[in-house]
Structures are given as structure tokens and as C-alpha cells.
Structure 1
């Protein structure tokens, strides 16, 4: 294994100014349990070098500005860790047998489209039982940010996992599954099946084709975002069919309330924070001619697609809620 790692020094950058060997050595010290889950054959030099080059050629949308991506703006939005707390809690509870309990630290869940570790950071703030989240992402920029925050993470694509067979208790594909090309969706679901332990679960989250949230992406994000958003969403039949084709049993497909919730010292501030959150999260740089118009323009688009913004008093703050309904599929490995 050491000879393999030494040889990788000549290979392309896995992270910024970091080879896979550098990453592996650092992770082996900080998160040895993560390294133990990786497939030695998959990270061998002869396979990894071409894989990294392929990831470098494919990843751009959530990379840095220099690469034409919107990773910077997205990470600014994720600083408010609980912006999707209702949905994130519900998704994590899908990994418990009852769908009602939070898994404990012995439950290793791979967050396949984890960005800079939003869900992992959110989990750190949960009181009581909480699962172990391993963040993965195709974007070098995102995994760089995750590493800097001291979180267990790995750079890989959703369609080609670096994890061993039967290694994980749970796999989560959420908050971006529609970015998977149609030909890649079955590959990603099959990779989840391969890497799950028997009895482990895959939780897939998206927004149903034709729904209000899909309209937000089609009519607002695609039109006004820096990168556009030409990504079709999932349908209910597609989720059923793809899970069944991969071999999952006990498949459930259901709606899930997944709103954005942003706090503020006043009601107006909470609403403004929520709208600016949407602006940064989707990098809507084309939505207004000047900074003074951003809030009003985003508000109009939110209300026309997602619905009315509600504000409630919560402890010492006000909380603005932007409604959003997700579509979720859960399947268990036989």
C-alpha cells in the first residue's frame, strides 16, 4: 500500500495542491475509520490517476469563480447551517427502522453530494444521538472547504465510489441529485447498493418534476443563476424503477416538507436574510440590475413559484420560512 501511495505523488491534483497520497496520509491520522472503509484496489495508482483527471474535467458548476462555478456563493449560503434543518432531520431519521429516531454514532452515512459538509456540520449541533456523516463530492473546491473545517470527507463521483463493498450503514443522495445526468442516475443508485451493508438504506432526495420547486429551478435558477440550471428532476415512477432495478427492497416514495428557515432580529430582517440566502445559494447574479433591487426581485420570484413567505417568533428571534416540498425515496439493501 505504501508503494502505491508514494507513486501517486506523480499524479494529478486530487485536491488543491494536494495529491491523493497527501489526502490519504492526513485522513489516516485524523479519521482512520474512514480510510479503513476505502477500497484499496479502487485507490491504486493505475486506476486513481485517470479517475482524478476525469473528475477534474467534469467538475465545474460548484468549483471556484475562476472555473466558472458558483461554489463561493453556495458556501456563503451554507454558513447558516440550519437553513434546511426540518428537511435534514427528516432525511436522517429515514435511516432508522422506525423513520422516527435519529441514528447514533455507530451509523456511518455517506453524504454523496455533501458539498462543503453542510449536513455534517448540522449533525454536530444535534443534542443526543447523531450519526457519523462522511461527506463526499465531485467538486475539488467543495472538498477543499470540507477538509479545512476538519470534517471526514472524500472526493469522488456519485457514479464511482471509492468505498468497499458492504461498507456503509447508509447512503444519502440529496440536495443536488437532479445534477446527475440521466445515464448516471442508475449508476449512482447501483453504487449506493454495492457499498451498503445488507440491511443498509439509500435515501434519495429531489424535487418532483412539475412541482413548485421544480418550477423555481426552471423559471428562476436556470434563467438568473451564474451557471444556469439545465437539469431535469426526478419523477415518482423513475425513483421506483431505478431503486427496483438496483435490487432495493421495501422501497417507499413520499413527499417531504423541506422548507428554508432563516432567523433575524426582526421580522423584516428574517425575511431579508431568507431572500439573500436564496440569492447566494443559487448565485442569482442576473436577477437584478443593482444591489438595491435584489431583495424585491428574489421575493417576487419566490412567491410566484414556491409560495408565500411566513414569519414566526421563535425564542429571541424571528424565523422566516420559504416553503418547499421534496420528493424522497428510501430503499433497503437485501
Structure 2
């Protein structure tokens, strides 16, 4: 194996991506903040339920996170569950891999299409929140390479966002416009993720709508406008919207102006809500948290900001003869 060529390929893959300090530094630091990342716990817990659809995971099992970033999936599970599998990650961003190592997460710096990570070692696999970074023409090869790392009978989950949905538009429009290096990626149509698993040797494949909101607990004295302002400040930092940050600083944009810009990306349709309520095995969420639009409300005497989003996830079992 030509390791120099492999390294050169990795650098090309990540050109404009998370190895840039303007992106990986901001995004990664926010992902290392457990309190903030747990505001998205419901989406992660839904993925954990899909991963355990056949059998509950145990400490001696292995979970392979194929687009690990700095290990956020394991960090969230560590904060939420008593027992979780051993974690092995993989990423193409050296910045994110170094952050993972600094947080004591085992993440390899590799392209899955190379044989640096051995085959059939993991009981579970997941690709979440970054699957759209894989170019459309390479997605079948990516799914096949990920699938080869899963043991026969193991479970794999592919997650991303639905092309044309408000959440996907957030990435394609707001992030692409207000991040210096842009964010020009195509998301996924319904049934596309399931098709990738079918083609990669998985059986019993199903696709699920995932409720993936931000849910942020507020101080009792925090009014709605202030809560929205704090949330938008967080989004600007989390998603490295450096262009928008400069506009805010130079022009003194009001919270209401930011609200007009950002709140439309956090909306659900009636069909979304119906589908989420129907799939309670995946989306075990209190009905009070299911909202159509960005909302500040009290639940059992506690105030929350809820910014609704939906994702899509396909789950499959690795066939014995794959």
C-alpha cells in the first residue's frame, strides 16, 4: 500500500472541509461541549434504537462510526446510556481526528475505500449527520466499504436529511451562503438510503423518519426573544457561519432580523408529524416536544426552546453471504 498516495487522497477529499480551522475548529469545539450537543439527544437516541432493533448492545460489542468527526456519537451515548459498545471511529478530517484523540476517542484517519481498517470487525455501524459529504457518484462505493466492516448479522444505520426539506435547505442555502468555504452538497431522496443498504449486502432494510430537534432548557427569566437570540448565536458558532458573524458585528443585526432569516428552516409539515407519531418504536418522544415550528414553551414548569427538524435513516442487517 502506498501510504503517501493514501495521505494525498485524504487531503484532496477534505479540501474545503472540516480540516479548515474556520470550520473544524468552530464546529469541533461545539461538538466537544457535552451540554450543548445533548440538546440534540432525541435524534441520537432514535439512531441508537434503530441500531438495537435486533438485540441490545453490550460492552463487549463494537460500534463502528464511519464518519465519526471527533467522536460525537460516542460522546452523546456516554452522556445518555448506562451501557454502550466499544467505539471505533473513522474520519477523513485530520482536525476532527486530532480532536477525537484529545477527548480519548479511538478514531482512525482513513478513507474507507482503502484497507487500513480491517473488515468484519464491528457488531454495529453508523453514518450520521455527514453522509451528504460523500459525492453522489461515490455513495454506492462508500456504503459497500462501510458494509464490509460489519460482521454478518450486524446492524448498520445510514442517516442524513431529505433533499428539499427545510433542514436540508438550511445546509444548502444558509450554511452555503454564510460560510466562507461554502457547503455545496446534495442530500438524499426518500428511499435512496435504503437503496444504498440494499446494494451493499444488507437485508431486512427499512427507512424511518427521525425527529431530530434542538431542545434547549432555558432559565425561568429568559424571555422568548432572548432565547431565540441565544439559539441563533449558537448556530452561527456551531456551523461556522463566519460571513454571517461579520455581518452581525458590522451591521448590528437584531434578533428579529436573524429570526426572519433562520426560523423558516425549523419547520415540520402535518405529514411529518403524523409519520413521527406513527413510528413510536424509533421516535420515543413526549408529544409536548413535537412542534411544527421553532417554539419557546413551558413543559411541567420548565421552559424550553424547541427547534424542530426531521432526518431520514435506513437500517439493515448484514447478510451472512454478503
TM-score per shorter chain, which class?
Answer: 0.7 to 0.9
Offset, 1:296: 4.0
Mapped partners of 1:97, 1:230: distance in 2: 34
Match of 1:325 in 2: 310
Match of 2:253 in 1: 293
Q: Which digits, 9 at most, give the CA deviation of each residue in 1:37-93, with x for residues without a partner?
A: xxxxxxxxx43332122112321310133xxx5111112322223131100111012
- SS of alignment partner, residue 228 of structure 1: coil
Offset, 1:314: 6.6
Contact 1:206 1:327 in 2 (8 A): yes
Contact 1:265 1:316 in 2 (8 A): no
What is the aligned-residue RMSD (CA, Å)?
A: 2.3
Mapped partners of 1:195, 1:110: distance in 2: 8
Mapped partners of 2:114, 2:228: distance in 1: 40
Match of 1:219 in 2: 173
Q: Which digits, 9 at most, give the CA deviation of each residue in 1:235-281, with x for residues without a partner?
A: 12322322222111111012110112233324445433322221112
- List gaps (5 residues or longer) in structure 2: 268-292
Offset, 1:211: 1.4
Aligned: 1:253 with 2:213: no
Mapped partners of 2:58, 2:299: distance in 1: 28
Offset, 1:200: 0.8
Mapped partners of 1:265, 1:126: distance in 2: 22
- SS of alignment partner, residue 200 of structure 1: strand
Mapped partners of 1:251, 1:155: distance in 2: 29
Q: Relative contact order: is structure 1 or structure 2 higher (C-alpha 8 Å, sep ≥ 6)?
A: 2
TM-score (norm 1): 0.78
Aligned: 1:175 with 2:129: yes
Contact 1:249 1:331 in 2 (8 A): yes
TM-score (norm 2): 0.80
Contact 2:219 2:303 in 1 (8 A): yes
Contact 1:262 1:273 in 2 (8 A): no
Contact 2:147 2:201 in 1 (8 A): yes
Aligned length: 284
Question: Where in structure 1 do 4 or more consecutive aligned residues deviate above 6 Å?
Answer: 314-317
